[in-house]
């Protein structure tokens, strides 16, 4: 019933600056002024549609590029506990320089791509932390008078030994579970 009271303005008066268009923004019915402005839910839908259709929205590579690049940040975060000997100094250096330069690009491009900027900022922080750990470890090895290549080989052997011990423990646990299930069955 109420939708019948809201009339669409004629095509000739749809200009925003038109005085006639102001008449259609507020309409009166039986002494009650009816606002034809969109409600809050409509505004949020308009905001979502505005974002979707924006130059950095999900219809563009300016959105999906940074989303995919967040995997670099996730990878760095997952390696935060990695042994410093197993961190690649060259790779971390390249990632820090790459993200630093593209962070500037994301800020300079119009419209500013804050999603890309935030991703590169976080990548500099995460990869820079890994690079710092590697450089600190190398300095400690030099202070102890150890060769870095030998320390890397030893760290690799220790890692392989720990992986083998973990595999043996897993197999032993599996065998124990099988024995317990046989005892429980009988």
Nearest to 77 by CA among 28, 43, 126: 126
Question: pLDDT tens digits, the chain, 186 residues: what are they?
Answer: 445 455 555 555 555 555 555 555 555 555 555 555 555 555 667 878 887 887 777 787 778 888 888 898 999 999 988 888 889 999 999 999 999 999 888 888 887 888 889 999 999 999 999 999 999 999 998 888 888 888 888 888 888 898 899 999 999 999 888 888 877 776
d(CA 55, CA 179): 63
* Opening angle at CA 53, ends 48 and 54, nearest 5: 95
Contact 134, 113 (CB under 8 A): no
Q: Which two tokens stand for residue 166?
A: 């973990």
pTM value?
0.57
Which DSSP state fits 88? Answer: -
Give strand ranges (E) for the chain: 26-29, 32-35
Q: What is the token pair recorded at 105?
A: 């690009």
Q: What is the CA radius of gyration of the chain?
A: 31
What lies within 8 Å, CB to CB, of 114 at 6+ separation is 56, 106
CA dihedral of 181, 184, 185, 186, whole degrees rounded to 10:
130
CA 174/CA 8 separation, integer angstroms: 73
| The two structure tokens encoding residue 45 | 């839908």
């Amino acid at each position: 019933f109420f939708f019948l009271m809201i009339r669409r303005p004629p095509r000739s008066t749809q200009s925003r600056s038109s005085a006639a268009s102001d008449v259609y923004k507020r309409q009166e019915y039986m002494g009650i002024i009816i606002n034809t402005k969109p409600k809050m839910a409509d505004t949020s839908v308009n905001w979502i549609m505005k974002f979707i259709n924006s130059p950095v929205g999900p219809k563009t590579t300016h959105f999906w590029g940074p989303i995919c690049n967040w995997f670099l940040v996730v990878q760095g975060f997952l390696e935060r506990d990695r042994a410093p000997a197993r961190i690649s100094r060259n790779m971390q250096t390249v990632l820090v320089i790459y993200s630093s330069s593209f962070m500037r690009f994301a800020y300079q491009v119009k419209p500013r791509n804050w999603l890309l900027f935030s991703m590169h900022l976080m990548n500099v922080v995460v990869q820079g932390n890994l690079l710092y750990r590697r450089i600190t470890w190398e300095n400690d090895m030099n202070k102890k008078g150890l060769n870095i290549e030998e320390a890397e080989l030893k760290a690799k052997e220790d890692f392989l030994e720990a992986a083998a011990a973990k595999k043996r423990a897993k197999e032993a646990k599996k065998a124990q579970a099988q024995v317990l299930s046989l005892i429980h069955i009988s």
